[in-house]
Amino acid sequence: MSSSSDLTPILKDWLWQSGRFGARTLSGHDGRLLIQVRLELGIIQMEADGRPDGNASGGFGSVLDRVRSQLEGTAVIAALGGACVDPDDASDLVGELLLFRQRAMACAVLELWPRVRRDALHNISILELLCGRGGDNAERARYESWRANEIKMQTRAEVAVAMLSGRKSEAGTAIDHGLDALKKSFARAGAPQEFEQSIEAQYLRGLRESLTLKLPSSQRIEIERRMLAAIRGENFELAAILRDELRQMGPAL
């Protein structure tokens, strides 16, 4: 390969910073929006729309679209009450879910909230299919347990969109709906007792408190300390929540 393939100039232009989720947007050669994430050993690039890797799946825009089409076209569905997802297709769906989850996290850091919601809903649709038609009961329960993270991401995005538009009441409603969806998901997964103490439920409750609780400025230092600790622990979603709390408090006195 020629020296033009060397990524060193690009990596030097965007240095990796420990404890920070580095993400940025850029335009491709044809003007389409791209998302890049800086890793310690390189950079990954994703499409902002469609599949993050830009690959079609059997002529469809996504694995989800392809598998849905295959199931709908199965002649025995009516007789069997619904065809099951092929194990290979299930593996492809899980792979696609992980790609969309990675992009959703990058979009959250970049505050591209409509795209975060879009990707979370895509993954919820994947899990809905796998939970309904994928594998045995144990596998379906495992897929259901993954839904909590996607509900959290969807709710976080809906809250952000509502708050940016000044619709605080809608933000609160979105959190209530998210908590209700979480509770039902834990019940379907056979673990209703885990809902109250789940990370996702605590996250959404903390988000609701940040909407209603007016913190005195004396607590700014504590929030900043928690945000830095979250960054050091690579809990970038919590760090983003705490950052938003600081912004809502206004400038420091």
Contacts of 73 (CB under 8 A, 6+ apart): none
**CA quadruple 14, 18, 24, 30: dihedral, nearest 10:** 50
Whole-model pTM: value is 0.79
In whole angstroms, give the CA distance from residue 183 to residue 152: 12
| Average pLDDT of the segment spanning 143-169 | 92
Residue 3 has pLDDT above 70, yes or no: no
| Average pLDDT of the segment spanning 16-44 | 90
Q: What is the pLDDT of residue 75?
A: 47
Residue 185 has pLDDT above 70, yes or no: yes
Residue 16 has pLDDT above 70, yes or no: yes
Residue 211 has pLDDT above 90, yes or no: no
CA–CA distances in Å: residue 54 to residues 34, 210, 228: 10, 37, 35
In the structure, what pLDDT confidence band is assigned to residue 146 with cuts at 50, 70 and 90? very high
Please state which of the ranges 35-39, 189-193, 212-216 shows the lowest mean pLDDT: 212-216
Percent of the chain scoring above 70 in pLDDT: 87
Contact (Cβ atoms closer than 8 angstroms) between residue 89 and residue 60: no
Residue 79 has pLDDT above 50, yes or no: no
| Average pLDDT of the segment spanning 67-88 | 71
Q: What is the pLDDT of residue 215?
A: 44
| Average pLDDT of the segment spanning 21-26 | 90
Across all residues in the chain, what is the average pLDDT? 85
List pLDDT tens digits, range 100-137: 999 999 999 999 999 999 999 999 999 999 998 877 88
C-alpha closest to that of 239 among 102, 108, 101, 103: 108
Please state which of the ranges 30-44, 51-65, 156-170, 213-227 shows the lowest mean pLDDT: 213-227
C-alpha closest to that of 195 among 238, 203, 157, 207: 203
Q: What is the pLDDT of residue 236?
A: 75
SS3 content of the chain, % helix, strand, coil (to 5): 65, 10, 25
